[in-house]
Chain A
Amino acid sequence: MKAGSIPASQSATGRAAPGLAARARRHFAVLFPPLLSAVIGLGLWEGVVRWLEMPSFVLPPPSSVVFVMIEYWGYLVSQLAWTVMAAAVGVLIGISLGIIAGAGIAMSGIIDRMLTPWLVIIHAIPKVVVAPLFLIWFGFGVQSEIFFVVTFTFFPVVVATITGLKSADPEVLLLVRSMGADRGQVLRKILFPSAMPTILSGVKLSVSLAPVGAVIGEFVASNQGLGHLLIRAVGDMDTALAFAAVTLFSIFGVLLWRAAEFVEGKLLPWHPSQRGDLASNRK
């Protein structure tokens, strides 16, 4: 990994610049392979579509997807905003319910035995299949969509919360009990903090599932959002617009994942996964 460090004397700007130049070179070395791969991939796509003279409604070339994206930018963004809003409301409800249910199950044997069978059964139902039922129960509109996001995002958090709360070090629990801690203190000061990494990994999974839940909800029960736009674009054979929506959606998904990782890093600076003291072992 030392390939990027070239002697400072080669830099024309003298002593201060080598650091900067070397860093730029290193960034370039990291970014170059994926960029090159993207250019080749999109170039091939563009070339094959044009060479075979494929009709645009079957497979639009990347260039026309970009043009459509620019042309409909305002519309696309407003639909994305709708999806994001529904996903955000749903995921917040899902996470809150998940943590509450998980804590109840982990802390009480009675709640565990009463609630867990229900959760297992409900979780086993393929949620996409019952999506149309939501239309019947909650009607056409954003409430159905939000409910759908909740069912998508609830389970990863429940499971993570239960696992996290049950994995506290028994000797630590003995120690704080010898200090005279009551149940509430044990929960606040030991169980929740030590469960945090596990809970957050569940939350991260939920956050990445939320937009998917929202879009599926929009397929079925909404006249707004990227999901609805996608259905309509496909109905109109406007495949380029559908591609533009999908592209925007996946860019948003990547940004969301990055944001979740960033928040995780801020909340868990002490955790082995965040410390970075072993990062140099990675090639």
Chain B
Amino acid sequence: MTEQTAHPSPAASGSATNGAIVLDQVGKTYGSGEGAVEAIRSISLTFAQGQSVAIVGPSGCGKSTLMRMIAGLDDLTAGSIRIGDRQVTGPVRDIGVVFQRDLLLDWRSVLDNVLLPAEIRGMDMAAASKRAMALLEELDVAGFAKHYPWQLSGGMRQRVAIARALLPSPHLMFLDEPFSALDAMTRDQMNVLLQQIQAAEHVTTLLITHSILEAVFVADRVLVMSGRPGAILDDITVDFPRPRKLELRETPAFTAIVGRIREQFVKTGDLVG
């Protein structure tokens, strides 16, 4: 039903430097024989280090599967994935993950929640504490470091989850629908915060979202994915200067990009125009 129109990825053949993430002909098929379901068809992509990439697509298009495969939490059935010069074969340690649910541990204070990855990796705790406080400061929740998660609002909890993901200074931060449980105003606020901290931390970011507005506002590059089997329909560079303000969303240039993406979904029938 869909043509693959993804950009050719020249780096896929092995000239990747430092932290670039290279997907080469990645595919995923569940089951085999008659009942096989092809979830993802031959995706080749390169993410430069520090790039902020958003993936938009309809439900069930394999966005989360793709993400899990990059994180090494799910096997691929075709192609290969490299981060820097290492082939992904098992869980990649160098990744911070943020899910739709914040998954904070109720029995730990905010600060101790952020410090969890440092404890697990046996990092120097004094240095980790300092970094945790700095991150909480940047995300504007430092005043709640001693509080427990239940004392925080949904938006604040998700900021703590982002601080936890960023604590070990990962190569890559994955955000899987991180704000879809939040109300619209909080979500706008979180979008502003996310693109701020992404720029400050210079971490490669992969944001999966249903919201076209969110994708275009936060990312340097938006990948549009089709429904099953998942493939890349469009690859759009978004080069608005940073820091971005919410007013950006009212500008014609912004609206044009949003329109272009929406059109893709209308064409595939995933969105009724």
Q: Give A contacts to B, CB under 8 Å.
A: 169, 171-172, 174-181, 185, 189-190, 193-194, 196, 268-272, 275, 277
Contact = CB atoms under 8 A, between A and B. Distances in A.
Contacts of B37: none
Nearest to B167: A179
Interface of B: 71, 73, 91, 93, 95, 97, 99, 101, 103, 105-107, 116-117, 119-121, 148-150
5 contacts: A180-B121, A190-B105, A194-B105, A194-B107, A270-B149
Interface residues of A: mostly helix, strand, loop or mixed? Answer: helix
A180 B91 contact: yes
A193 B105 contact: yes
Contact of A171 (B93, B101, B150): B101
Contacts of B116: 176, 179, 189
Contacts of B103: 169, 171-172, 175
A172 B149 CA distance: 15
B105 A179 contact: no
B105 A178 contact: no
Contact of B105 (A172, A180, A277): A172
Most buried by B among A180, A196, A269: A180
B119 A189 contact: yes
Interface residues of B: mostly helix, strand, loop or mixed? Answer: loop
Given A176-B120, A193-B107, A270 B150 contact: yes
A178 B106 contact: no
B120 A181 contact: yes
Nearest to B71: A178
Contacts of A169: 103
A171 B121 contact: no
A272 B149 CA distance: 12
Contacts of B149: 270
A178 B105 CA distance: 16
A175 B99 CA distance: 9
A180 B120 contact: yes
Nearest to B121: A180
A180 B107 contact: no
Contacts of B105: 172, 190, 193-194
Contacts of A196: 107
Contacts of A277: 150
A185 B148 CA distance: 22
A8 B71 CA distance: 65
A93 to B, nearest CB: 27
Contacts of A271: 106-107
Nearest to B148: A270
B120 A178 contact: no
A275 B97 CA distance: 29
A181 B91 CA distance: 11
Contacts of A174: 73
Contact of A275 (B71, B91, B107, B150): B150
Contacts of B93: 179-180
B109 to A, nearest CB: 9
Contacts of B107: 193-194, 196, 268, 270-271
